[in-house]
Every structure is written in structure tokens, then in C-alpha cells.
């Protein structure tokens, strides 16, 4: 079968290609199997049992995407107050912290002490773009950052001398767990829709005042390659789940691809 998830990280930790072997649907509880919630490689979750017979997630055997949450609030933290007033405070809003996900190889911690401690890589004097020597796995060509159409660069979002944090327009530190406080500075309308619950995703209870896990911006969107390729949305392309079975009398689905031109 296809092995499409081969990727390495900066410090050389290669994750195994998750080659799906048996296309049997829903091998429900495979302890220790890694699958992804929204974006392959950036929102991973490891399967385990949270209660006897109940896995934390069920994964698709063909694409390794999460299909089912045993406990939607597993591993979440309170979202905290939002910078802009919103009527969400009456709800029990929680988020899954992004820092452990981003920092899973202790990358951020290493960044902050090894290179970006103010000694090895001096803090640049201005924010003008220049070719990067490092981090090409994240941003292949920094002169053509696929976000902001040339208007922004690394330090508009990343804190200049504390790489474990993001930074907003007023030089306030922003946690990786709360990227909406940064993204909303430019994408205000989207932030508003997100607050109302009609942009983005929440899981948990639908009713007013019910506990909800809110999904923050970077769980679904990759901020470094928003504009890329043939994509039709701000969402990375991914492998779809398999098509339903053809009816038994049907050999193929060619009839669907026939163009109904003139005379139809």
C-alpha cells in the first residue's frame, strides 16, 4: 500500500512511514499507534486506552486520520480569557495545548537555548526578509513565504529573542497554545466567526453552556504554507478515505466520468 507519511524533523528524528497493510475498516484499538487529528505530522495523537475497552481515539486504517474521540476533552487545558470580549466565558471552553505537539522533540526548548539565545544567531536588526540557512524544512524559500503575500516575515509572528513564544503587533508574547490571539490581529473577521462557532471546529457538547473543546488556528492550518499549489482552501491537501464499495453488479464507476455533453 501507499506509504506517504515519510517525514523527518530538524534534529533527525524520522517517524516511521505509516503504511497501511490491511484495508479492513476500523482496527479499532491498536495501542501505541500514532494517528493525526487534523494535519498529518503536526497534530499527532497516540492511541491508548482511557477506560477498559474505550480508546482515546479511533483511527482510520487507511489514512491514519482520527475518526472518533473516546473523550473529547482528553488532554485539554482551560482556554483562558480571550483578548477581545466574547460571550464564551459562560461556556467551559478548553483547548488542547499546542506546545507539547510543537515541542515534541524538545525543538522549541532547544531553539531557545542553543541558537536563539542571543549569542549564536544574533537578533536581526530589522525585519526585512533574507534567505534562511536553517528551517528550510518549514519554510523552503523564505524569500517567498507562502503567507501574507510578501507582507510579513518570520519575526512578525515569532518572538525575536524568545523562540518558545509567538509575538503580537504590540510585542506581547503569545503562547503557542493561544495562536488565535496572534492570527486574529490580521484575520479579525475570521476570529470573530471563530468565536461565534461558525468558523473552525469544536467538539464536545452542542448545547449552550456545555463543555467544548475549541480547535485553535494552527491545528487545522499550517501558517507557513497557506498559499500553495493547487489548493482550493487554506487547508492542506490530504488523502481521502476510500470510496464506498461499488454495487455488486457494477465493474467500475466509469459511468460517472462520462461527460454529458450536447444531446444529453
Partner 1 sequence: MSKEDNKENGAQSVSRRDFLRKAGTYSAASLSGAAMLLSNPKPAQATTNVEWAEHFQKNYRLMTEEEKQEALDRLEKRYSEEFGKEVTVDGSPAMDGVLFGYALNIQKCIGCRRCAKACVAENNQSRGDEQQIEWIRVLRLEKGQFSADDRDNAGYPGDYGIQVGGNAYKPAGVVLEGQHYYEAEQVPEKDAFYMPMQCMQCEKPPCVKVCPVQTTYRDPDGIVVIDYNWCIGCRMCIGACPYWARRFNWGEPSLPAEEMNPVTHYLGNRPRMKGVAEKCTFCVQRTRKGRWTACVEVCPVGARKLGNLLDPESDVRKVLETKKVFRLRADLNTYPKFFYFMD
Judged by the rule CB under 8 A, the positions of this chain that interact with partner 1 are: 24-26, 28-29, 37-39, 53, 58, 60, 63, 65-69, 72, 87, 196-208, 210, 215, 220, 230-233, 235, 237-246, 253, 256-257, 259-264
Nearer Cβ to partner 1, position 67 or 102?
A: 67
Smallest separation (angstroms) from partner 1 to the CB of 87: 8
Assess contact for 13 and 105: CB atoms under 8 A: yes
The Cα 216–Cα 242 span in angstroms is: 28
Nearest to 132 by CA among 99, 155, 109: 155
Nearer Cβ to partner 1, position 154 or 183?
A: 183
Smallest separation (angstroms) from partner 1 to the CB of 81: 20
Smallest separation (angstroms) from partner 1 to the CB of 86: 12
Would you give the distance in Å from CA 79 to the centre of its chain?
17
Smallest separation (angstroms) from partner 1 to the CB of 89: 14
| Residue 225 DSSP code | B
The Cα 237–Cα 228 span in angstroms is: 10
Torsion of CA 201, 205, 210, 214, to 10 degrees: -20
Nearer Cβ to partner 1, position 88 or 138?
A: 88
Nearer Cβ to partner 1, position 102 or 205?
A: 205
- How far from 240 is each of 7, 47, 61, CA to CA, in Å? 19, 21, 12
Smallest separation (angstroms) from partner 1 to the CB of 110: 30
Nearer Cβ to partner 1, position 28 or 112?
A: 28
Assess contact for 36 and 66: CB atoms under 8 A: yes
Amino acid at each position: 500500500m501507499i506509504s506517504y507519511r515519510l517525514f523527518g524533523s530538524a534534529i533527525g528524528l524520522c517517524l516511521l512511514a505509516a503504511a497501511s497493510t490491511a484495508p479492513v475498516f476500523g482496527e479499532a484499538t491498536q495501542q501505541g499507534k500514532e494517528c493525526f487529528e487534523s494535519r498529518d505530522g503536526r497534530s499527532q495523537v497516540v492511541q491508548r486506552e482511557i477506560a477498559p475497552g474505550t480508546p482515546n481515539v479511533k483511527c482510520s486504517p487507511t489514512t491514519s486520520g482520527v475518526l472518533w474521540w473516546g473523550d473529547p476533552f482528553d488532554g485539554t487545558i482551560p482556554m483562558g480569557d480571550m483578548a477581545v470580549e466574547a460571550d464564551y466565558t459562560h461556556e467551559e471552553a478548553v483547548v488542547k495545548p499546542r506546545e507539547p505537539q510543537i515541542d515534541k522533540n524538545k525543538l522549541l526548548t532547544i531553539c531557545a537555548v542553543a541558537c536563539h539565545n542571543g549569542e549564536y544567531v544574533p537578533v536581526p536588526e530589522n525585519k526585512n526578509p533574507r534567505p534562511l540557512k536553517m528551517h528550510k524544512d518549514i519554510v523552503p524559500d523564505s524569500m517567498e513565504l507562502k503567507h501574507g503575500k510578501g507582507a510579513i516575515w518570520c519575526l512578525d509572528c515569532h518572538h525575536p529573542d524568545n523562540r518558545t513564544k509567538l509575538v503580537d503587533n504590540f510585542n506581547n508574547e503569545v503562547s503557542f497554545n493561544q495562536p488565535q490571539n496572534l492570527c486574529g490581529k490580521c484575520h479579525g473577521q475570521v476570529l470573530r466567526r471563530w468565536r461565534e462557532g461558525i468558523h473552525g471546529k469544536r467538539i464536545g457538547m452542542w448545547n449552550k453552556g456545555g463543555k467544548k473543546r475549541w480547535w485553535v488556528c494552527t491545528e487545522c492550518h499550517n501558517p507557513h504554507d497557506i498559499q500553495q499549489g493547487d489548493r482550493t482552501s487554506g487547508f492542506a491537501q490530504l488523502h481521502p478515505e476510500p470510496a464506498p464499495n461499488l454495487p455488486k453488479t457494477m465493474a467500475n464507476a466509469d459511468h460517472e466520468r462520462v461527460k454529458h455533453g450536447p444531446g444529453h
